[in-house]
Structure formats: C-alpha cells, structure tokens
Amino acid sequence: MTRSVGEDGEDVAGSNPLAIGRWRSSLQRHPSGLLLGVQLAGVLLYPLMEETDAGRAVFGVFGIVVLALALWVVNRSPTINWIAWLIAIPSVFFSLLANLGGRAELLPVAHLLEAVLYFYAAAGLMAYMLEDHRVTLDELLAAGATFTLLAWAFAFAFSVCQTWYPGSFTAAVDTDDPRSWMELLFLSFSLLSSVGLSDIVPITAPARALAMIEMFAGVMYIAVVVSRLIALTTLRMRRG
C-alpha cells in the first residue's frame, strides 16, 4: 500500500498498482478457481435467499454471473466457444424473464439450457485437464470447478424433470411438495460424490434414470480425472 499527500497535508492511502496487477494476473491465470469460489459461495448464500421472491430473483441474477464465469472458463479450454454462447444467450434471456419478469412458466426452459451449458463447460474443463501430462495449480482448481459444474448441471436437470414429471422426488418432510432448488442441489452433490447422505428420493422412472446417470458420472469422474491429477502430482513431487 503506497501513501500520497493530500491537499490538506495528510497522507492519503493509495492502491499499489503492482499489487492490483498481481491480483488481476492471478485471476487470469486461475479462472477455474474464481468459478469454484463463486459457486461454493452460492451454495452458502442461497439458503438465505430462497424464502422470498426478491431473494430468488437475486439468485437468478447470481446464476447469470456464474454462467458468465463458465463462459470465461470455457474460453480458456479447448472447446468451441461459439457453441457455449449459442446456449448461453437464450439461457440468460429466459432466466431474466422467469426470475425478473414474472414468467415462472419459462423457468424450466432456462434450467434446461443452463444444464446443457454447465455440462458443456464441465466437458471443456475436463478436456483442459487431460490435454497434457503436467499438473498446474489452475488444473487442480479446475478439478473442483468441474465437480461443482456437474453438480449444478444435474440439479438443473432434476428441476426440469420434476416440472415435466410432477412427483418425481419425495423427501422425509412435505412429501407431496415439489422439491426446492436447494434440496435438488443437495441431492445432486450427494449422488455425484456417492456419499448417500441425501433424504431426497427419486421415485419416478425418469428421475431415477437421471440419478443413475449422475452416480455413474461421479464414479467415472473420480476414477479418470481426479486419480490422474493425483498421480501426476505425486510423480512430480517424487521427481522434485
């Protein structure tokens, strides 16, 4: 932090250009870390928002921010970026109409497009992690970001499923009510990590099919991506 002299003779705190430059450079080198941090922040903040219409609208805007970060990350990975934009633009449009324009019937369309985009971004990050035989800090952060992208993508898919097939999910409380977004996200994290902690249960055939696909995706993700990154990191440490 540098100090400068103001008109009244007092020292005025100023920003250090080198520190700001390093901060920006770090974000540019590790966009996956920023995406991971924002999504985890969303997991913590959404329970404070889901009880009110205004809170849900704010979280809808937050979701658009996450989409923008996902696009940024995809742009850094070996994927075709115009495909991501082709999915993202209508997704943002329908999300704004649903959350801020009072068109709740458009929410499943927005969630379907968001699910597709998150799956696409996760595939791009996996390609980025597998493209060479060295492990960087950003690739390790990308491993976490890919997991959260997959979890959110399946949660959006579950949301669409329970709209198209009412009664797809039940729970220990309010068994006949549609499950909230937080409940579906909790189910998604539970299935993807294979911890089996969720009290949310898929009961229709389409819901169970999605659940089985997510279980398979979680097991394969751990087996292929995470184990590879751990092995390469261990190998580099031994050589070092």
pLDDT at 124: 85
Residue 55, C-beta contacts closer than 8 angstroms, at least 6 positions apart? 48, 49
Backbone angles phi, psi at 176, to 5 degrees: -95, -5
**DSSP letter string, 131-147:** SSS---HHHHHHHHHHH
**Could you give the CA distance from residue 225 to residue 240 in angstroms, rounded to a whole number?**
23
pLDDT at 5: 38
- Cα 84–40–213 angle (5° rounding)? 60
pLDDT at 9: 43
> Terminal CA-to-CA distance of the chain, rounded, Å?
36
Distances (CA, A) of 143 to 70, 184, 239: 14, 22, 23
Whole-prediction pTM: 0.81
Q: Please name which of 181, 219, 179, 182 lies closest in space to residue 201, comparing C-alpha atoms.
A: 179
Please name the amino acid found at residue 136.
T
Q: Give me the residues of the chain with pLDDT under 70, please.
A: 1-29, 51-57, 74-80, 132, 240
**DSSP letter string, 65-85:** HHHHHHHHHHHTTTS-HHHHH
Total Cβ atoms within 10 A of residue 43 = 15
Asked if 61 contacts 37 with a C-beta cutoff of 8 angstroms, the reply is: no
